[in-house]
Amino acid sequence: MVVDRLFLTDSKSDWIIYCKSMIRQLRISLFLLIILFFLTISIESWVEGETLPFGHQIGVGDFMGGLPGVAMFDYDDDGDLDIYITNGEGFPNRLLQNDGEANFIDVATTAGVNDRGRGHGVATADIDNDGDLDIYVANDGINKLYLNHANGKFTDIAESAGVTSKLNSTTCAFADIDNDGYVDLYVGATDQFSGYGSNVLYRNRGNLTFADITEKTSTAGGYSWAVAFCDYDNDGDQDIFTANDQGLAKKDEFCPIMLFQNNGNLRFSDVSTQAGFTKSGSWMGLAFGDYDLDGDFDLFATNLGTSVQFDEQDTDYHGFYRNNGDGTFTDVAEELGLARWEFGWGTVFTDFDSDGDNDLYYVGNFLFLDATDNPGRFFVNNGDGTFTEPMTKEYGLLTKDKDGNNTIAVGLATGDVNNDGHSDLCVANGGTEAKPAYPILFTDRFDNNNWLQLRLEGTVSNYSAIGTRVSLTTDGHQQIQEVASGSSSLSQNSLHLTFGLGIYSKVDTMEIRWPSGIIQTFQQVPTNQILRIRERDPKFVTEIETQGKQWTKFGTIKFHVLHQNYPNPFNPETWIPYQLATDAEVVISIYNINGVVVSRLKLGQQKAGNYLVRDMAAYWDGRSMNGELVSSGVYFYQIRANHFLASRKMVISK
């Protein structure tokens, strides 16, 4: 009899059984090793160069702090985003010019925008519709309006334009409130330091001058650290939101967020209370996005809390206001687990992982608390109306200086600085004379999903296209975004719109609603490209010529990359996109679940570049090397480009 098949047998049949059992176990072990091998290759290729989803650059110019804001915009119209950062009193603001490869040089002095006032907020827009972006700076003192001359130079016209303000201005934003084709200007102020000041609404007359219509429109509001425009009620005009911090005298003097509904004909109504904004606090930042994909914009607001001392008990900071679609909002911050994290300043909604829903990020720390241990928070949207718990460190988004110390992170803006179709981040840090601050640039390395980026130009509407709403529908899945100035805290995101599309290789329907009321519709739009679209133009442009040089839709490629195939699952054909940092001999092999090669695509010698769209990506017809369609199931595809190896999983579904 068999006592233990692993050690002792007394019969030939038992020995045979034992051998068969061992063979089965070896087969299972071999299968697991194959799977582990492919997974290891995939992981190693993903972390090549850097181990985090966000690459982290520090040192786009040191500067003195205060409470700085940041704007990401293409001031020289060369196809890439530049960066403007305000500064502390007595130190110049910075204009960081992008060389096309996400390297920056400060050109503020030569451009004439190196203001040395006590800078806070910044906003950009084309105020005269001449085709270039102008800059407004909100100062604790006299504000600046820099007119862009399209030759690398600016002139301050704030005084002649009537927008100096001469108050303790904190923040600013542009929008065309009356849809007359010219952007208007809203400037926030606070009495926190000076004891005076209130918000101001300026109407653009169309002749490089503005009129103060605050009293006429009843939009003075509270004392604000963030102002933003958003069409929250979907009626085609821009409404005003303000994040208010009235003062620090008493706890009960803190204010709720205010909402001014645009009624048309230069009339606004304060609907804050009836809309559901009743929670008092020291509100700092605003971010808009349709997090639940129901067709209207929701609002996340950062808060310093209602206690000056920042007591441990005072942790009910942030507000997350879900748009109910009937003119009201419900604060679901507690329900979503977003209320009781550290206090915050700048904040943005954007689809960092390009999976088709808006993720959320905010930064924190406070000047007067000498950079407490407040990492800011990054929340990943799960796609079902919930967010994961913060994974700030895991994603490489901790705001620390080059010595590893916490920074005084205040301003925050998002935009695509390297033209790779993914949203990058710039953080403006405060500092002191003894300890200068450095802005931080986080570059997004999520590259396994499809995307689409739009650069819109108004012709009947304002040239900046501010207030334009875009809706993308793919396989019944709808996303909306709006071109917006302001929001975050003291900052402005890029006016370019970037959408994540997940596995989809095309957009079924793209609808663009301009402030003029003109609606343009495009069908079957391919993904993974940057489009320039002009109002009323029936065609879009995929390549942009500026100043005699051809600008392509992709930035510099630093590493070989293998992307996810599309469609996936598929039947029977699919495309495999990839990128090459250098010229390489390229072979793509397809394996079944047992590690057996079923097909091999010998692409030959390929030049460095992007092989992403269908006419350039590798094509597989779903057939084996003998020409037969392979069966449904899980497969792996591996790219070999010289010494580079990477693999991903694909699924055939029949």
pLDDT level of residue 280 (50, 70, 90 thresholds): confident
Rounded Cα distance, 183 and 125, in Å: 7
Q: Specify the higher pLDDT residue, 542 or 603.
A: 603
The pTM for the full model equals 0.75
Tokens describing residue 412: 């925050």
Peptide bond into 92 cis (omega under 30): no
Above 80 in pLDDT, residue 414? yes
Tell me what the mean pLDDT of segment 242-266 comes to.
76
Model pLDDT, residue 64:
64
DSSP label at residue 143? -
Above 90 in pLDDT, residue 618? yes
pLDDT level of residue 88 (50, 70, 90 thresholds): confident
Return the closest-CA partner of residue 397 out of 431, 347, 343. 347
> What DSSP element (H or E) covers 275?
helix 272-275
Return the closest-CA partner of residue 447 out of 424, 473, 476, 469. 424
Model pLDDT, residue 501:
94
Tell me what the mean pLDDT of segment 216-231 comes to.
89
Percent of all residues in the chain with a pLDDT value above 90, rounded to a whole number? 50
Pairing assessment for the beta strands 519-526 and 506-513 based on DSSP bridges: antiparallel
Above 80 in pLDDT, residue 620? yes
Name every residue whose Cβ is closer than 8 Å to that of residue 534 and which is 6 or more positions away in sequence.
Answer: 456, 457, 459
Among 135-144, 287-296, 477-486, 641-650, the range scoring the smallest mean pLDDT is: 641-650
Q: Per DSSP, what are the bridge partners of residue 590?
A: 599, 637
Residues shown for the chain = 654
Name every residue whose Cβ is closer than 8 Å to that of residue 33 and which is 6 or more positions away in sequence.
Answer: none
Return the closest-CA partner of residue 92 out of 124, 71, 74, 66. 66
**Taking the alpha carbons of 417, 422, 428, 434 in that order, is the dihedral positive or negative?**
negative
Model pLDDT, residue 11:
46
Tell me what the mean pLDDT of segment 148-166 comes to.
93
Among 191-200, 338-347, 423-432, 613-622, the range scoring the smallest mean pLDDT is: 191-200
pLDDT level of residue 190 (50, 70, 90 thresholds): confident
> What DSSP element (H or E) covers 14?
helix 12-46
Percent of all residues in the chain with a pLDDT value above 70, rounded to a whole number? 81
The answer to whether 418 and 101 have CB atoms below 8 angstroms apart is: yes
Above 90 in pLDDT, residue 72? yes
Rounded Cα distance, 226 and 247, in Å: 15
Q: How far is CA 488 from the centre of its chain?
A: 11
Model pLDDT, residue 568:
79
> What DSSP element (H or E) covers 19?
helix 12-46
Tens digit of pLDDT for each residue in 505-535?
999 999 999 999 999 999 999 999 999 999 9
Return the closest-CA partner of residue 327 out of 281, 273, 265. 273
> What value does the mean pLDDT of the chain take?
82
Model pLDDT, residue 309:
43
Tell me what the mean pLDDT of segment 310-329 comes to.
78
Tens digit of pLDDT for each residue in 17-45?
445 555 555 554 544 444 333 333 332 22
Name every residue whose Cβ is closer than 8 Å to that of residue 257 and which is 6 or more positions away in sequence.
Answer: 241, 242, 243, 244, 272, 277, 279, 283, 286, 299, 301, 319, 321
Among 243-252, 527-536, 585-594, the range scoring the smallest mean pLDDT is: 243-252
Q: Specify the higher pLDDT residue, 465 or 27.
A: 465
Q: Specify the higher pLDDT residue, 131 or 594.
A: 131
According to the 3-state scheme, what is the secondary structure of 323-374?
ECCCCCEEECHHHHCCCCCCCCCCEEEECCCCCCCCEEEECCCCHHHCCCCC
pLDDT level of residue 430 (50, 70, 90 thresholds): confident
| Dihedrals phi, psi of 13, to nearest 5 degrees | -65, -40
Return the closest-CA partner of residue 244 out of 211, 275, 198, 210. 198
Return the closest-CA partner of residue 300 out of 281, 282, 322. 322
Above 70 in pLDDT, residue 286? yes
Tell me what the mean pLDDT of segment 471-491 comes to.
92
Rounded Cα distance, 46 and 448, in Å: 10
Tens digit of pLDDT for each residue in 93-143?
999 998 887 888 899 999 999 999 888 899 999 999 999 999 999 998 899
Among 55-69, 194-208, 303-317, 352-366, the range scoring the smallest mean pLDDT is: 303-317
